[in-house]
Amino acid sequence: MSGSNELSRRDFIKVTTGIIGGFIGAVVGLPAVYYLIDPALQGGGKEAWIPIGKFEDMLLDTPYAFSFTRVQVNGWERTASSFGGYAIRKSDKPEELQILNSRCTHLGCTVNWNEEANAYLCPCHDAKFSKDGKVLDGPPPRELDTYPEHRITADGVIEIFFKEG
């Protein structure tokens, strides 16, 4: 075969094996990668308006505690997660409500309003937040998060906008 441009029988087998093997590898390998990273590619969670209480029950300048539970389906398992927060009424206008998320910005424990301390206290690492969520003491990197969108229904119930994930 030397000196000839024709493919030898051996080389033909080698090349064919390589091509077919590569093809099979790609057909199985690429879906396998997709299979592994699929959960990371799932879109954001569901959205919902969650009622937190009647506007008339919220006292002026007093944190109004609320909590709610969302059930999320993760793969083959349903997990219930609790969320909560405080609504602080500033005036007669519902749109001026400040609605804080009670999840501590440090490591995610739940903060509680303490009347004596006049602050939200976190049980985990002694974080302290003022009534409107500013950091007073402790390790949190930023003030408490807020639920940015809320609305009032016809019968006076405040609902917050909630997006999973």
Q: Which residues bind another protein (CB under 8 A)?
A: 28, 31-32, 34-36, 38-39, 41, 75-77
CB of 5 to another protein, least distance (A): 23
E strand intervals along the chain: 47-54, 64-74, 77-88, 98-101, 112-114, 119-121, 128-129, 135-137, 150-152, 157-163
Token pair 């799932």: residue: 42
CB of 1 to another protein, least distance (A): 16
CB of 130 to another protein, least distance (A): 45
Toward another protein, which CB reaches closer, 60 or 73? 73
Toward another protein, which CB reaches closer, 37 or 60? 37
Q: What b/e readout covers 38-60, taking b as 16+ CB neighbours within 10 angstroms?
A: eeeeeeeeeeeebebeebeebee
CB of 72 to another protein, least distance (A): 14
Exposure of 137 in the CB half-sphere (CA atoms within 13 A): 10
Toward another protein, which CB reaches closer, 29 or 156? 29
Toward another protein, which CB reaches closer, 78 or 95? 78
